[in-house]
Structure 1
Amino acid sequence: MADVLANLASSMTLGKDEAADVPICQRWVIPLIIEMLLDDTNVISVLPVDAEEWRQLLIDYLEHEKFPDDLRHHSEIRRRTPRFLYYKRTLYRCSFERVLLRCLGEEEANQAMEEAHSGVCGAHQSGPKLHFQLKKMGYYWPSMVKDCLEHAKRCQVCQFHSNFIHQQPEPLHHTVASWPFDAWGLDVVGPITPKSSAGEAYILVATYYFSK
């Protein structure tokens, strides 16, 4: 907020003895500075963010013990905050391995996924592997599993170079050996005492190595 106010002050062209009031409607706002010259006055428009930042609810409770206006979120905030830590204006989440993971917003999460998936050290991992890599790098946001799966599916490079089977499915065919006697073993057993009932004294043994 201090940076936003400093940018507003530097963009206004007021005289030495002139002053202007800038109303702040919400805490999380995006300033849209419009330079218009209307009767030597400065016009500044502020557009509030409709999407609620998920980190701000936890920060408000950890820093000021402030609950959101919706009563349904009170129990959820109390249940989730023991695993979070707000230190030096940065929100962290304690993982099951007792490692502090930095909590990211939507824009920061998209940048982290892009860098980990297809950056300098990216290997175009699949969704679960990308999620594991981001946690190993020390990042967290609530929907990171779903976002990693969708990000991996939308990657055009992965779609072009994936290991797809392009062969049409067809019934299996039996393999016929071209040389039926190329893997046979022959041996002679004998003489046999006493002889067999038919009077043979020797036995010829032939073994096909493939089928035994």
Structure 2
Amino acid sequence: MPRTSVKDQVLADLVAKFTEPSVDEEEKDKQNMDEKSVGMVSLQEPASWRVYVDGAANQRGSGVGLVIVSPEMIVLEKSLRLSFSAINNEVEYEALLIGMTMVQKMRGKAVKMFLDLRLVVGQVEEELEARDSRMQEYLNQVRHLQSKFESYTLVQIPRSRNTYADSLATLATSLVQSLPRVILVEDLCKPIEMKGDIVRVHQVRAGLSWMDSIVLFLKEDVLPEEKSEADKVRRKAPWFWLSKDLKLYKRSFSGPYLLYIHPKAMELLLEELHEGIYGSHTGCRSLSHSALTQGYWWPSMQKEAQEYVKKCDQHQRFAPNIHQLGGVLNPLSSPWPFAQ
């Protein structure tokens, strides 16, 4: 059978495939491979530590459990019993901070934390706001330790996947017999110390206001130099009371004393009452009345509440529609409109 025609490119590919490379080409290929491997090693991220943390708080006390897995797959177990009173959220933060501190002491540069509490994970990831002052201190401490890692990840996992750390936390608050291995349980006598230079959330820098002259008069019996201002302060002073911690309260005949709010902190209070956790986006009169019932007072409550409500997008968007006619109605004097 005669052979069919073969293209030149097919023959060239066949020769290039089965031709043995020379010695110079092999050395060049090895050198290129070594450079690529070095580049790949340099681009690799630092080995990551895995830490599973959990806290337990019950009638018998509070405890913390940690399971630390090193990059070499060495498992470390830790159980701590808290000798101070703490709620569940505080215990979870203590567990998170202790886990980060232990990885930092072992010179870990990358860490991946696993926690089953949605509140703590949401506050650290800035999905939820920490309103309590104690939670803010814990959150700032986590931020401080987080900045010392090259790579930091916090992951929320279901409780069913965190049973190992949960059992260690429960172990610190109860007596467990027939343990499969020896686990050291230490006592933590005091909470982790907070840094002194932590900036508070919603920190208000109070400036000068009209209440300063009244506070000065009630505290040191000093009046302004101008006579008219001195007379105003002397007339207004009996309506106020100064506490030992230098807080100014407005007196009342039948109700409780009302705490005076500085103008700089007034908008934060209105925001909390109007748009807070239980905020109902009410109107201006209801908003100012809510501030009174909560024990706060300032001179222009109605005006400031009305201005704040006007700036609220949700209140203006979903407020009840006014069905009253825009013009003035003209009543007919005759019961028969077209009677002669």
Aligned match for 1:74, one of 199, 220, 230: 230
Aligned match for 2:214, one of 47, 58, 66: 58
The structural deviation recorded for 1:160 is 0.9
Aligned match for 1:106, one of 256, 260, 263: 263
Deviations 1:174-207 (A, max 9, x none): xxxxxxxxxxxxxxxxxxxxxxxxxxxxxxxxxx
What CA distance in whole angstroms lies between the structure 1 residues aligned with 2:219 and 2:286?
A: 34
Q: 1:68 to 1:117 in 2, by over 3 A?
A: same
Deviations 1:34-82 (A, max 9, x none): xxxxxxxxxxxxxxx9x73122111000011111233222221111111
Q: 1:168 to 1:65 in 2, by over 3 A?
A: closer
In structure 1, the residue matched to 2:250 is: 93
Deviations 1:68-121 (A, max 9, x none): 233222221111111111112111111343311111111211111111111111
SS at match of 2:291: helix
Higher relative contact order (CA 8 A, sep 6+): 2
Deviations 1:125-162 (A, max 9, x none): 11111111100000011111211111112211111111
What CA distance in whole angstroms lies between the structure 1 residues aligned with 2:324 and 2:248?
A: 50
CA RMSD, Structure 1 to Structure 2 (Å): 2.6
State the one-letter code of the partner of 2:222: K
Aligned length in residues: 122
Alignment of 1:32-181 (within 5 A): 52-87=208-243, 88-165=245-322
Alignment of 1:186-205 (within 5 A): none
SS at match of 1:110: helix
What CA distance in whole angstroms lies between the structure 2 residues aligned with 1:114 and 1:67?
A: 35
What CA distance in whole angstroms lies between the structure 2 residues aligned with 1:169 and 1:145?
A: 25
State the one-letter code of the partner of 1:66: V
Q: Which runs of 5+ in 1 are unaligned?
A: 1-48, 171-212
State the one-letter code of the partner of 1:148: A
